[in-house]
Structure 1
Amino acid sequence: MQENSDRPFVTELTTNSSIGYADEKREGDSSQQKQRQGATATGGPTTRWMQNNKKWILFGIAIIAAATAIPIILVIALRKPTEPPPSTIQKKQPEEHHPDFPPLPEDQFDNSAQANPYTPPLSEPFPYGKIPIRGINLGGWLVIEPFITPSLFDQFSKSDNVIDEHSLCKKLGPKEALRQIQEHYETFITEEDFAKIAKMGFNHVRIPMGHWAIEVTQDEPYVPHLSWEYLLRAIQWGRKYGLRIMVELHTAPGSQNGWNHSGRYGQIAFLNGVHGEENANRTLKIVETMIEFFNKPEWQDMVPIFGVLNEPAIFQLEKKRVEKWYEDSYDSIRNITGVNDGPYLTYHDGFIGLDSWNGFFDQNRYKRVILESHMYLMFDEGIVSLPREEQAQFPCHGWRAILNDSMKNAAPTMVGEFSIATNDCGKYLNGVGLGTRYENTLHKESSAKQLQCPTCTCENVENWKKWDKNYRHFLQSFLEHQIDSFETSSIGWFFWTYKTENHANPHWDYSLGWEQGWAPKDVNNITYKCEN
C-alpha cells in the first residue's frame, strides 16, 4: 500500500476389567505362586546351580545385550538425516516443525476443490482475462504494518521510535520478537478465515511476504524463516477451500520505497546508495529461491501468480535502473520455469503512471506478465475534495479509462490493491507518529501535499459504529463501482485488506464491511455497476 508515507492426540487405555480380575483371583494366584516357588526350591542340580549363580547369569546377559545394542544404536544415529540449514527453504512440512499446526489432508496435494461455482477447480487452469480475478489481500499478517495491527506498536512510548517491523524486532530482541510475532502469525489469520474468504465469493488470495522468510543477514533483526512455514500452511488452507494464492515479495533488503510496509521506514537502499546494487542482487536471489520452490508440480496449481516486488518507488529512483532490474528478474525467473511456463509475474507500475510502461512489456519477449497498479483515492487531494456522489462514480470514468488504455498499450493489467477509504485518517495509516493530509498535519516541513480544508477533522471518522445509513450506502456504492470498473477494464483486482486488528481501521477492513453490510455478501453478485 502506498504511504507517505492437536496438541498431540493421545489414546488412553483403561484397565478396569483387568483390575477387577486381579481382585477376584488374588487368592488363587497366591496359591499358584507358592507351588511354583516350591518346585524351584526342590528342583534338580542344574536348577539349584542356576539359582545359586543367578546374579552372575544376569550380569552376563546384560553384557551381551549391551554389546549387541550399542552398535545398533550407533548405526541408527548415524543414518538419521540432519536438519537442513535455516537459510534454506527445503524444510519439512509445517506440522512437523510445529506440533500445533493442524494436520494436512490425507492427500496433501488434492486440487479438486472449487472455491465457488463462478471459478474452475484448482486442477484446471484459471482463465485469466475471461474470468476476473476477485481477490483479497492478507495485509499485515506475514509482513507487519502498524495501521493493521496497532497494538504491536502501542506497547511502546513515542521516544522508543518503534515505527516498522525492523525497529519492532530490534527493540523486542530475538526471543521476545519471536514470541510476539509467532503469536501474531498464529492468531491473526486462521483456517476459519480461509473458509470465510471462500464464502465471500473470492477466487484468489494475495499474501505479502517479507524477504526475511528466505534469509536474513547479521545486521537485520527480523524473525527469520518462520513466516515461510505459515505461508505454506496458508497455501494448504487455500487448497482445501479452492482458493488460488498470489505470493508476493512485499519487501526488499534495504527497502524499495522507504515506507514502513517495506520492513524499514526511511531511506531507500534498493538500487540506490552505496549498497543499492548489492541489495538489488540479493532481492533477485530471494525471488529465484521462491520461484524454484513454487515451480514444483505440487505447488504450481496453487500459486499461479507471483508478485516480483511490491511498490518500488520508481518516482524516487532512476527508472532505467529499475527497468533493467525488471528485465533481469524476468529473464532469471523464466530460465527457471521456461519461457511459457511458471506463474504469471506481476510488476508494479512504481507510481509513475501506467502509461509510462507503454511499449515496455513487449508481448513477444515478456510472456505471462501482468502490470500491477494500486489505486487509492485518499492519496489524491483533488479526488478527496469531491462530493461523495462524485467519489462513488469516479472509478467508472477516471480509473476505468486509465486501465483500458494500459490493457491496450502496455500489458495485461490488474489492480493489486484498493480500498474504500476517502481520507487518510486511519490510525498509523501514514506511519507511527505522523499526521494526516486531511488535517494538514502531515510533514508540514516537507513538500507533501495537504488538503485545502481548514475545518476538516479526523474526529470520529473511523468510529464505524456511528456511521449512518447514508454513509454506509455510499461505502457500498463506492466499493462496488470500483469492483465493476476494474473487472470491465482489467483482468481483475485484490481488495486491501481482509481485516484490521479489532476493526481498528474500518475503511480498510473488508471482513467488517461484509459483516455490517457495506460489502457484498458475494463478490460475484454486486448491486452497483458503472454505466456504459
Structure 2
Amino acid sequence: DVLRGVNIGGWLILESWMNGDVFDNTDAKDQYSFDSCDGAQAKLEQHWSSYFTESDVVGLAAAGINAVRIPIGFWSYVETAPYLMGADAYLEKAIGWCRNHGIKVLVDCHGSPGSQNGFDNSGRSGNVAWQQDDNMAQSISILETIAKKYGAQEYADVVFGIQLVNEPISWDQNNIDTTKEWAQKAYTAVKSASTNQNLAVIMHDSFVGPSDWEEVGSAVNGDASLADAKFWIDTHLYQNMVADDSKLTQAGHIEKACNWQSTELLPSSSNLPVIVGEFSAATNICANPDGSTVAGNVCWIEGCQCSANVPIEYWNQPLIQATRKFLEAELDTFEAHARGYFMWNFKGPGAWGYQNAIKYGLIGDKITDRKYPGQCSS
C-alpha cells in the first residue's frame, strides 16, 4: 500500500520559522544556539510534551494518514555540548501512539554531526563539516544506535524505515561521490544492526534527483524486485523555493507537478523505490476573483489575494480552490508513481500545515478525497 504521510517537523528539531513561540525572548536562530539559552531544557520539555500529542495522531489516522516521518537529531543519542538530550524518549512515545492507531513510522536522522547542509533544519545553520572523516564515522555509529533500537523485531510492526541523513548538499563542502560511498556503508551498518529484515533504509537524493542514484540502487538492491528492495531514495519536491517557480501561474505549477512522474520520479521498471519525503501545498501565486491566477506575490485587481502575504484564515474561495487543485495534482502524481509521500508539515503556518489544509478546505476530510480528479491524465 502507498505510504500516505506527513512530517512531524518542528518537534524534536526546532526550526524558528515554525517554532516562533519557542524562540521568543531568545536570540537563538537554531537548535544549537537555543540549547545554550537559560532555561532551555525546561522549555524543550514543555515543547516536546505539547506540540505533538496522541490526539494529533488520532486526527491524522482519521484523515487517512497511514505513515509519519519523524525528524530527530544525532545529539539525541550522544552527548554533544551545547545540545541537550531527551528527545528520544518522546520519539519512543510517539511510536507507541502510532502503533495504537495503525500508523507506520519513518525514523529520520535529520541532523547529522558537523551539519550536512548548514541549514537550521540540521540543528546548526552555517558551516558544513559533515564530510570530515570523524563526522562521517560518527554519523554511522549513531545510525547503528538508532537501528539497534528501532530496527529491532519488537518495532517491526510500526517502524518501516530509518532515514540515513536529510538533505545533505551536493555542492561546496560536500562531494556527491563521497555521499554515495557513505550511503552504501551506512546501509550495510544499519542492516547489520537491525533484526527487522523488512526494514527500509532511506537515503535523501542530495538534491541531484533519484535517477542519479540508480547505479547505487542497483549495487545495493541487486536483483531484488521493486517491491522487495530495501534501499530507498527520498526526494523533496517543492515549488516555492527557487526564483523560476515564482514565475508560474497555478496552471503552470499543476503541469509541473503532473510532469514530476517523468522529471523527478522513477519508472516502475527501476528497482529503486522512491518516497517524496517532503512536499508542500505552498506556491507563490495570486488568485483573482474570476479564478484565474497570476505568478508571484503582487496583484492589482480588486479582490485579488496572494498566498504569500494573506494569512490562510482570510483566504477567499479562488485562492483556496487554486491551492487545492495543486495539492490534489501532487497527490495524484505521488499515488501513481511513488512508494509514499510525506507532506511538510503535520501543522504549520499557512498552506504548510496539514491540519490547516483540512480546516480551510485545501484538502478533503480524507487524504484520498478528490474535488478535482484526473488533472494529470488530461
1:347 maps to 2:197 = no
Q: State the partner residue of 1:482.
A: 330
Q: What's 1:151 paired with?
A: 21
The letter of the residue matching 1:531 is C
Does the residue aligned with 1:417 lie in a helix, a strand or coil? strand
Whether 1:377 aligns to 2:239 is yes
Match of 1:169 among 7, 20, 35: 35
- TM-score, normalised by the number of residues in structure 1: 0.63
Structure 2 CA distance for aligned equivalents of residues 423 and 145 of structure 1: 21
- Kept in 2: contact 1:137–1:207 (CA 8 A): yes
Report the secondary structure of 2:235's partner residue. Answer: strand
C-alpha distance in 1 between matches for 2:208 and 2:256: 20
Matched with 1:329 is 186
Listed one character per residue, the Cα deviations across residues 419-460 of structure 1 (whole Å, up to 9, x for unaligned) are 011149xxxxxxxxxxxxx78xxxxxxxxxxxxx999x9897
Q: In the alignment, which residue of structure 1 is the partner of 2:71? A: 208
How far did residue 491 of structure 1 move?
Answer: 1.2
Say whether the 8 Å CA contact 2:152–2:194 is kept in structure 1: no
Q: How far apart, in 2, do the equivalents of 1:378 and 1:388 lie?
A: 12
The residue type paired with residue 388 of structure 1 is Q
2:145 corresponds, among 280, 284, 289, to 289
Q: Aligned in 2, Cα 1:178/1:412: closer, same or farther, shift over 3 Å?
A: same
Structure 1's unaligned 5+ residue stretches are: 1-130, 425-437, 440-452
Q: How far did residue 334 of structure 1 move? A: 2.1
Displacement of 1:319 = 1.5
Deviations 1:240-298 (A, max 9, x none): 11111111100001100000010000010100xxxx11111111100001101123222
Q: CA deviation at 1:498?
A: 0.5
Equivalent positions of 1:434-453 (< 5 A) are: none
The corresponding residue for 1:531 is: 376
CA distance in 1, matches of 2:202, 2:279: 16
Shift of 1:471: 0.3
Distance 1:297 1:409, change over 3 A: closer
Deviation of residue 330 (structure 1)?
A: 1.1
3-state secondary structure, aligned to 1:359: helix
Q: Does the aligned pair in 1 maintain the 2:67–2:105 contact within 8 Å?
A: yes
Question: One-letter code of the match for 1:472?
Answer: I
Indicate how the Cα distance of structure 1 residues 462 and 249 shifts in structure 2: closer, same or farther if over 3 A, else same.
farther
Structure 1 residue 524: Cα displacement: 2.4
The one-letter code sitting in structure 1 at the alignment partner of 2:138 is R
User: Quick one: which amino acid aligns to residue 530 of structure 1?
Assistant: Q
Structure having the larger proportion of residues in strand: 2
Matches within 5 A, 1:33-44: none
Tell me how far apart the structure 2 counterparts of residues 359 and 212 of structure 1 sit (CA, whole Å).
32
Aligned partners of 2:315, 2:159: CA distance in 1, in Å?
A: 38
Structure with more of its chain in helix, by fraction: 1
Question: Do the aligned partners of residues 204 and 460 (structure 1) sit closer, same or farther apart at CA in structure 2, a change above 3 Å counting?
Answer: closer
Corresponding position of 2:289? none
- Of 468, 477, 482, which residue of structure 1 is paired with 2:316? 468
Deviations 1:358-382 (A, max 9, x none): 3221131784111110000011322
Which residue in 1 is equivalent to 2:248?
A: 386
Q: Is 1:511 the equivalent of 2:355?
A: yes
Quick one: distance in 2 between partners of 1:202 and 1:355? 28
1:242 aligns with 2:99: no
* Distance of 1:460 and 1:359 partners within structure 2: 40
1:18-417 to structure 2, matched below 5 A, reads: 131-156=1-26, 160=27, 162-170=28-36, 172-173=37-38, 176-217=39-80, 220-224=81-85, 226-271=86-131, 276-316=132-172, 317-337=174-194, 341-362=197-218, 363-364=221-222, 367-397=229-259, 399-405=260-266, 407-409=268-270, 411-417=272-278
Partner Cα distance (1:148, 1:290) in 2:
26
Residue identity over aligned pairs, in percent, reads: 28
Shift of 1:390: 2.0
> Hey, what's the Cα distance between the residues in 2 that align with 1:149 and 1:414?
26
- Structure 1 pair 352/531, CA: closer, same or farther in 2 (3 Å)? closer
Partner of residue 291, structure 2: none
CA distance in 1 between partners of 2:33 and 2:345 (Å): 23
**SS of structure 1 residue aligned to 2:70:** strand
Tell me the amino acid that sits aligned with residue 34 of structure 2: L
Change beyond 3 A, Cα 1:460–1:360: closer
Q: CA RMSD in A?
A: 2.3
Asked if the contact 1:371–1:411 (Cα under 8 Å) also holds between the matched residues in 2, the reply is yes
Separation in 1, partners of 2:73, 2:109: 6
Given that 2:284 and 2:307 are in contact with CA atoms closer than 8 Å, whether structure 1 keeps it comes out as no
SS at match of 1:185: helix
Residue identity matched to 2:369: N
Distance in 2 (alpha carbons) for counterparts of 1:531 and 1:254? 41
Inter-partner Cα distance in structure 1 for 2:104 and 2:376:
31
TM (norm. structure 2) is 0.88
Counterpart Cα distance in 1 of 2:206 and 2:153: 32
Change (3 A) 1:287 1:165: same
Q: Determine helix, strand or coil for the equivalent of 2:127.
A: coil
Deviation at 1:165? 0.5
Structure possessing the higher radius of gyration over alpha carbons: 1
State whether residues 360 and 410 of structure 1, in contact with CA within 8 Å, keep that contact through their aligned partners in structure 2.
no
Greater CA drift, 254-263 or 461-470: 461-470
Distance across 2 between alignment mates of 1:185 and 1:285: 25
Equivalent residues of 1:372, 1:415 under 8 A apart: yes
| AA aligned opposite 1:402 | T
